[in-house]
Amino acid sequence: MKKQTILIVDDSPVNIDILKGILGDEYNIKAATNGEVALKIARKLRPDLILLDIMMPGMDGYEVCSRLKANIETQNIPVIFITAKDEPMDETHGFEVGAVDYITKPISPPVVLARVRTHLALHDQKRELERLVKERTKELLDTQLEIIRRLGRAAEYRDDETGMHVIRMSRYAYEIALEIGLDEQDAELILNVAPMHDVGKIGIPDAILLKPGKLTPEEWEIMKKHTEYGARIIGEHPSKILKAARTVALTHHEKWDGTGYPNGLAGEDIPLIGRICAVADVFDALTSKRPYKEAWDIERAVNLILEEKGKHFDPKLVDAFEKVLPSILKIKEQYPDSG
């Protein structure tokens, strides 16, 4: 079994040697005689525990501990002060800056050994608990994503026999999101929830959804309800991903100039995720065959997107769409309706 590493920080080599004698048989020992060196070693080696003196020239132990706790790389390393400062206020300050324990000199070897063992065991338990929580959180997120993907595909199959539309448009949206500067995490959120944009189609009668000709005004009003149906199907949840899915379902038919539906939102009042998915959805819908239309060629579809800049679509997103068009066309080729 690999020995755990302890960093001893003390300006006195004698004190370091004493602690090495107590702990050296059980642990891998590293040492530093000043705060600057200690911080460098801690960042590089990530020891399992730090034994820290307070009274040192230059940077004292309190400042070293504060800096350790302020750095994301070292903030979780447990720190035990070992010091001759034995006033209650000194001990209180030690805990205030982030230490887990406080041992006064002269030290008792059994006490030092027992405290070190205890805090290393607690730290191991904490790390294992964090690992389990992270693993469980990932399982829950994966389950949510799978439900979203499958429900989105189920809705799409109603008027698209291959179900490829949701795959293509979500990937288009991902490319546009990255182009406008969203980070990878936010772009992936859009990629994962975009398939839910038309989940409300589940509530639209086949006679309207699959009608081969133009809808009557009355039928069109029913068709427009799929945005609100989608929001109701997804519901209100604290989950970030389900909130985003609901937003996409409700707002992907809003228009930049305020003439869209269901709420007539305009400009930046339309959530960004809805604006992005609007561009991706319309482009793929235009270039795909549907019961009521043949597929448009690429040039005609692109021209319509450009013509609707500042009307249907956010101008910034149309510019981004133009820039990533080569990637979008590769995605379209990769996921054909015949596939």
HEC-encoded secondary structure of the chain: CCCCEEEEECCCHHHHHHHHHHHCCCCEEEEECCHHHHHHHHHHHCCCEEEECCCCCCCCHHHHHHHHHHCCCCCCCCEEEEECCCCHHHHHHHHHCCCCEEEECCCCHHHHHHHHHHHHHHHHHHHHHHHHHHHHHHHHHHHHHHHHHHHHHHHHCCCCCCCHHHHHHHHHHHHHHHHCCCCHHHHHHHHHHHHHCCHHHHHCCHHHHCCCCCCCHHHHHHHHCHHHHHHHHHCCCCCHHHHHHHHHHHHCCCCCCCCCCCCCCCHHHCCHHHHHHHHHHHHHHHCCCECCECCCCHHHHHHHHHHCECCCECHHHHHHHHHCHHHHHHHHHHCCCCC
Query: Could you give the domains of the chain?
Result: 5-131 (3.40.50.2300), 160-334 (1.10.3210.10)
* Band of residue 28 on the pLDDT scale cut at 50, 70, 90: very high
What number is the average pLDDT over the span 107-119? Answer: 94
The answer to whether residue 186 scores a pLDDT higher than 60 is yes
Share of the chain above pLDDT 70, in %: 93
> Per residue in 244-302, pLDDT tens?
999 999 999 999 999 999 999 999 999 999 999 999 999 999 998 877 788 899 999 99
pTM of the model: 0.60
Structure confidence at residue 153 (pLDDT): 65
Structure confidence at residue 237 (pLDDT): 82
Structure confidence at residue 202 (pLDDT): 86
Structure confidence at residue 154 (pLDDT): 65
Structure confidence at residue 212 (pLDDT): 83
The answer to whether residue 156 scores a pLDDT higher than 80 is no
> Per residue in 128-137, pLDDT tens?
888 888 888 7
Structure confidence at residue 41 (pLDDT): 96
* Band of residue 339 on the pLDDT scale cut at 50, 70, 90: very low
Instruction: Tell me the torsion sign for CA atoms 262, 263, 267, 272.
Output: negative
Structure confidence at residue 163 (pLDDT): 66
What number is the average pLDDT over the span 54-67? Answer: 94
Q: What backbone torsions phi and psi does residue 261 show, to the nearest 5 degrees?
A: -140, 160
What number is the average pLDDT over the span 86-97? Answer: 92
> Per residue in 199-237, pLDDT tens?
898 888 989 988 888 899 999 999 999 999 999 988 888
What average pLDDT does the structure give for the chain? 91
| More confident of the two residues 329 and 195 | 329
Structure confidence at residue 37 (pLDDT): 95
